[in-house]
A and B are shown apart, each in its own frame.
Chain A
Amino acid sequence: MGRKKETEEFLPLTPAAFHILLALADGEKHGYAIIKEVARRSDNKVHLSAGTLYGNLARLEGSGLIRESDRRPEAGLDDERRRYYGLTKFGREVAVAEAERMQEALTQAHAKRLFRKPETI
């Protein structure tokens, strides 16, 4: 219960923050990979700039939603200065809560017929 309340303090997430959590949902990534993933999954519609990305990473890390991974790229394979970030358990809970919130909003929108009919697409 208390835990739920804690996660709710973060809701709603900013679009950028949610995208980042989403990008990290299936595994640890470094900064540039997050940008690429977000762009790929949004059909190139969402472009995170370096400033926006690291501003968000700093805040998410500060609130314990993500953490820096111990993993380091193998020497030679990748830039050694790169750090990898991953979701914490709590971060995952927050992302789930946000997804649920969105889901609920979507359900209500459906109930009110707030969507385009398939045939019109």
Chain B
Amino acid sequence: MQTNSTSWSQKLFRKLLRVFPADFCANYGGEMEGVFREQHREAGERGGMVGLLRLWAETLSGIFSTAPREHWEILKSDCAYAFRMMRNNLGFTTIAIITLGLGIGVNTALFSVVHAVLMRPLPYPNGSQLVFVRQQESKVGQDDIGFSVHEIEDYRDQTRTLSGLVEYHSMSFTLFGHGDPDRVTAGVVSPNYFEFFGIKPLLGRTFVAQDDEPGAPAVLVLSYEYWKGRFGGDMNIVGRTFELNDKVHTVVGVLPPVPQYPHDNDVYMPSSACPFRGAKAFIANRDARMMEVFGRLKPGVSLASAQADLATIAGRLRSAYPKSYPDNIGYTAEASSLREELTSKARPTLLVLLAAAAFVLLIACANVANLTLARMVRRERELAVRTALGAGRSRLLRQLLTESFLLALAGGIAGLFLAYGSLGLLTEFAARLTPRAREIQIDKDALLFTLLAALGTSVAFGSIAALFGRVNVSSGLKEGSAGAGAGGGSHRNRFRSALIVSQVAFSFMLLIGAGLMLRSLMKMQEVNPGFVPQHVLAMRMTFNFSKYTTTDQYADIGKKVVERVESEPGVISAAVTSSYPMQPEIVTAGPGAISTSFQIEGQTLSASEAPPVGSFVLVSPEYFKTLGVPLMEGREFSRADETKTLQVAIVNEAMKRRYWVNEDPVGKRVSADGGKTWMTVVGIVGDVRDFGVIQPAAAQFYLPQTQNPQPSALIVRTAADPGSMARAAIRAIHDVDSQTAVSKVLTLEQAQSDAIASPRVMASLLGIFAGLALLIAAAGIGGIMALAVGQRVREIGIRMALGAQPSAILRMILRQGLAWVLLGVGLGLLGAFALTGILKSFLFEVGPTDPLTFAGVAFVLIAAAVIATLLPARRAASIDPNVALRSE
């Protein structure tokens, strides 16, 4: 019994000793066990159970008060030692901190983006319950046709899975009362819209039910961005009045900075205030769809059951209103999580960039590990001495890890600065992909990430250095052994080569990614957009529509604007239009969002056959001339096409290819309103890439502004620099009607370049990452070759003494460097083949295994490596054998 308890206590005591530093344990552990055994025996003999308990209490408190102090002492001395080492090796320290700073910095920056956009919950209470509801015509490829008032009511009444369906649409209005007429985008929403999202106003209030009642005073809520940008964050904004749609509107509140979806709006108003939404005819028409709908999943309801619920309601509507939902359009309704809506477009891009950043960090790690290993060679004597003086392996490992952690921590701090500096740029980029970009910041999670990255990095390169720089005491202490001792040395050199090879391989993969993106970007820039973007100025015009009510009035003002602008010197031609190519809103919306179905005279469709679809652009006669779009057949529009004359249309070649394969569309009639009115096709024009460079031209109709006026944009072809004509053009518009808001003034060259801004930024970022990787890897190769040459001075001296020519030595060193690089390129090639598939969706007319890119990248990498190796190789070739053999 007694011996049993003794041995049990002994075992426990021995286990407890492990909380002491390993060296302490090795030094005193045995003795401590002996002491404890005696104490235990004595306590048992004298005090029995009470004595034993008392001994254990004293022992435990002794261990747990002493051990932390021992650890702290070691940490203090290790840190002091590490700082001394860092100061004594300033070159190494600087390079390591910069390398790690770059690696950690790009990761911190991207992490804060990914964290804000993809990881954090939506900034609304219970945001995961929010869904975006769509009605779709799946058979005609329309994935969001919007909702009519009747439809919203139907879904609101019938849904069992969603609570609080709220409506939204966005419109442009002109705001008077603050300098020039200001074109604002207004979100028109249900009165409980903000309450539904759980958005608390920053100033004032949001809407209440009374605001939506007929005859209620008109009110506005400003978005945070508009309030900041247009009113400089005026704290007294609430209560100010503006004129809008011929009515005085009072500002009642300001929103906090929240993501706005699907559009960034300047102001919000309740739905009854919108003159279109409030019109009786609009409300009565089941097919007048304009609104978007948000819903909230009831507690415990899954998205899947909401989908089923919506599909059931859609089915009911199909059978109740067969005219509104004919079988051949594939009408249905579905919900998707709001979070997905806000972020799905950004996810692949951000993840690819994060992976690229991780590659950079890996390369940085490998490089610093290599530097550390190289330095270990020089420190071998020192470490061997310390080992001989009684420092155990684990003690040395611990000290090396402390050193590497301090380095990585310094790198992390440098990285934080880098991340902080680059965040503005990244946010701007992310804003193209997601409305959540405004949430990006370096917060405590990003700081934690940086710390963890630094810790992980230091463990990675520190333990590599410690394990493969294993100190061999006897060889380290031997006189004159300059480091690379035969056994451990070659082992270590092999490992260093492996690190180099892996750096080259990862750099290769990054360069391939950047190269592919660059090639694809070049292809995008080479695309013929179907018009001549040079020397064309474009701008949005918003007329004060309360002054213009009839079609003829609109047609007239459009004509006047064109005439007035064309009278300006330097203007070659001008046109008004409903939209123009590469217009930002159109580019982001895509053809699916603005296409409508139509019918071709004489063509009968079977019940299940989808009707033809096309998008409509309403243009004045000068449109094609101004843009430089070629007429292929028939005629252009003329001023003679009027409301009372034949209704005409022009189609593009894509339309002809799709719906009149072996026929001539000219002379055929089409209808977009179910056969009430018919338009005759009078001409065919060339395809224009309206929806961005990447999207091929969609099937399109052009209708004359003279018959279908919607003069919401002006395009001007100028003789001189179009940017310099902007003032004159705006003045000309205001001459015609001073109450016209002009916005989004830009040249079509800008618009075209903006349309590929996202791939351009992605290519630039990948390019920067790849460039960093190349630089780090090349510096690594050069450094390691220099070290290798340093170690082989004697051998090279002997070779030269035996008659080797300097050029042969040069070739020998170059060959070795090249061997590593080629191996790295080979491995990188395999990796790239495996990984570039991920990039496929980002690429335009370039395959993920584009041979030209692969060859080019391999060439660049090999050339960089040769240049990096050349310096040490030349040093090797200039070694004087006499000197080399005499030294040592």
- Interface residues, chain A, with chain B CB atoms under 8 Å away: 30-32, 35, 47-55, 57-59, 79, 81-83
**Digit string of B61-76 for contact with A (CB within 8 Å is 1, else 0)?**
1111111011001000
Contacts of A53 in B (CB 8 A): 32, 35, 62
B24 and A50 contact, CB distance less than 8 A: no
* Residue B58, interface by CB 8 Å: yes
A105 to chain B, nearest CB (A): 26
* Residue B276, interface by CB 8 Å: no
Complex Cα spacing A55 to B24, Å: 9
* Residue B36, interface by CB 8 Å: yes
Q: With A49-B61, A52-B62, A55-B70 given, is the CB distance from A35 to B39 under 8 Å?
A: yes
B734 to chain A, nearest CB (A): 85
Complex Cα spacing A82 to B32, Å: 10
Taking CB atoms and an 8 Å cut-off, the chain B residues in 15-73 that contact chain A are: 24, 27-28, 30-32, 34-36, 38-39, 58-59, 61-67, 69-70, 73
A50 and B62 contact, CB distance less than 8 A: yes
Complex Cα spacing A30 to B30, Å: 13
A58 and B59 contact, CB distance less than 8 A: no
- Interface residues, chain B, with chain A CB atoms under 8 Å away: 13, 24, 27-28, 30-32, 34-36, 38-39, 58-59, 61-67, 69-70, 73
Complex Cα spacing A47 to B58, Å: 8
Identify 15 residue pairs between A and B in the complex whose beta-carbon atoms are under 8 Å apart, listed by A's number.
A31-B31, A31-B32, A32-B38, A35-B39, A49-B58, A51-B32, A51-B63, A52-B65, A54-B35, A55-B62, A55-B66, A58-B24, A58-B28, A59-B73, A81-B31
Contacts of A31 in B (CB 8 A): 31-32, 34-35
Complex Cα spacing A85 to B69, Å: 22
Contacts of B70 in A (CB 8 A): 55, 58
Contacts of A30 in B (CB 8 A): 31
B62 and A82 contact, CB distance less than 8 A: no
Complex Cα spacing A89 to B32, Å: 26
B34 and A49 contact, CB distance less than 8 A: no
Complex Cα spacing A12 to B112, Å: 51
Q: Which residue in A49, A79, A81, A83 is a CB contact (below 8 Å) of B62?
A: A49
A82 and B66 contact, CB distance less than 8 A: no
Complex Cα spacing A50 to B67, Å: 12
A74 to chain B, nearest CB (A): 17
Chain A interface mostly helix, strand, loop or mixed?
Answer: helix
Instruction: Known A-B contacts: A32-B38, A51-B66, A79-B34. Give 18 more (CB < 8 A).
Output: A31-B32, A31-B34, A31-B35, A35-B35, A48-B62, A49-B62, A50-B63, A53-B62, A54-B35, A54-B66, A55-B66, A55-B70, A57-B28, A58-B27, A81-B30, A81-B31, A81-B34, A83-B31
Complex Cα spacing A57 to B31, Å: 12
Which residue on chain B has the smallest CB distance to residue A31? B35
Contacts of B28 in A (CB 8 A): 54, 57-58
A54 and B34 contact, CB distance less than 8 A: no
Contacts of A55 in B (CB 8 A): 62, 66-67, 69-70
B386 to chain A, nearest CB (A): 15
B67 and A51 contact, CB distance less than 8 A: yes
Complex Cα spacing A35 to B27, Å: 19
Complex Cα spacing A53 to B65, Å: 11
B395 to chain A, nearest CB (A): 14
Q: Which residue in A52, A59, A82 is a CB contact (below 8 Å) of B34?
A: A82
A82 to chain B, nearest CB (A): 7
B537 to chain A, nearest CB (A): 81
Complex Cα spacing A45 to B70, Å: 26
A14 to chain B, nearest CB (A): 11
Complex Cα spacing A58 to B26, Å: 12
A50 and B39 contact, CB distance less than 8 A: yes
Q: With A55-B70, A58-B24 given, is the CB distance from A49 to B59 under 8 Å?
A: yes
Q: Which 3 A-B pairs have the closest CB atoms?
A: A49-B62, A51-B62, A55-B66
Complex Cα spacing A29 to B34, Å: 14
Q: Which residue in A32, A47, A58, A59 is a CB contact (below 8 Å) of B35?
A: A32
Contacts of A51 in B (CB 8 A): 32, 59, 62-67
A17 to chain B, nearest CB (A): 12
Complex Cα spacing A58 to B20, Å: 12
Complex Cα spacing A67 to B24, Å: 16
Contacts of A50 in B (CB 8 A): 13, 32, 35-36, 39, 59, 62-63
Contacts of B69 in A (CB 8 A): 55
B65 and A54 contact, CB distance less than 8 A: no
Q: Which residue in B31, B58, B63, B64 is a CB contact (below 8 Å) of A82?
A: B31
Complex Cα spacing A35 to B38, Å: 11
Which residue on chain B has the smallest CB distance to residue A51? B62
B40 to chain A, nearest CB (A): 10
Which residue on chain A has the smallest CB distance to residue B69? A55
Contacts of B38 in A (CB 8 A): 32
B775 to chain A, nearest CB (A): 46
Which residue on chain B has the smallest CB distance to residue A57? B28
A7 to chain B, nearest CB (A): 21
B163 to chain A, nearest CB (A): 63
Complex Cα spacing A30 to B65, Å: 22
B31 to chain A, nearest CB (A): 5
Q: With A51-B65, A51-B66 given, is the CB distance from A32 to B34 under 8 Å?
A: yes
A32 to chain B, nearest CB (A): 5
Complex Cα spacing A82 to B31, Å: 6
A31 to chain B, nearest CB (A): 5
Which residue on chain B has the smallest CB distance to residue A52? B62
Contacts of A54 in B (CB 8 A): 24, 28, 31-32, 35, 66
B39 and A32 contact, CB distance less than 8 A: yes
A59 to chain B, nearest CB (A): 8
